[in-house]
Each structure stands twice: as C-alpha cells, then as structure tokens.
Amino acid sequence: MDDPRRQFDFWLGRWQARWNGGAGTNVVEAVCEGRVIRESFDAPGLVGTSISVYDAAAERWVQTWMDSQGSWFHLTGTMRDGAMELFTTEPDADGCRKRMRFAAIAADRFEWTWSRSAGDGWDPLWRIDYTRATA
C-alpha cells in the first residue's frame, strides 16, 4: 500500500466478532476528516473503544484502547508481511509486553489476536474471528 495512512482501511465498517465462548460487535469508522480511526467494541462484560492515528513523523500507527473493565493500553506499530501489528509501549506488572495482530485480512473477514511476550515468542491470550456484518 502506497499511503500508510490507509493501512487500517480494511478495518472500517460493522463487524461480527466471535471467539471461543463469546461474541460481540465492533463498529469502526474514520473520523476527523478521515485521519483518525475510532473503534466501538461491544460484548457482554466488555465495552471498549479505541482511537488510532498514523504518526507520519514516526512512520507508525498509534492506538489508545480504553474499556469498561478499567483497562487501557497505548500501542504502536505498523503493517508488516500483510498483517497489522501493534505493541504495548510499556511492559505490564509481570514485565510482559502485549501484541495485537490483525492477520488473514480479506474484504469480509480477518483474524485478530492478543498475545503477551514470552521469552523469544508470544503466548496467545485471545483470538477473535471477525466477519463483516451484512446489515
């Protein structure tokens, strides 16, 4: 993709989110004249929102997530090998960093994973399969 500010365009729209033991919805829209991506996630027990923007000077995406459980994360990252990867900027209380990854991206679906650092790799914490809502 030539314009890195368009790398999150795949995420725009209304989504059905399904994971082992649960389901929810996600509405993702471009705001602020298309420069900011706003997410509204809604599932039983978890309502959250994120704001994402491309930082041209740093050549990376910046995202802040906040939710109904009082959690918040500040993440940065880029599109790499066909997947969007964002990483927490600070380790958590256990000294681990978190990674959010959007992969297997197609027009009507993608796979989202949330993992934490473990040695030289990543331990999966949550996987969500997204499909574009038809209505």
Q: What CATH code is carried by the domain that includes residue 118?
A: 2.40.128.20
The enclosing H or E element of 74 equals: strand 72-80
Q: Which domain holds residue 52?
A: 4-132
pTM, 2 dp: 0.93
Q: Please list the helix, strand and coil fractions of the chain in percent, rounded to the nearest 5, in that order.
A: 5, 65, 30
How many folded domains does the chain comprise? 1
Instruction: Give the pLDDT confidence of 24-62 residue by residue, as tens digits.
Output: 999 999 999 999 999 999 999 999 999 999 999 999 999
Q: Whose structure tokens read 């500040």?
A: 74
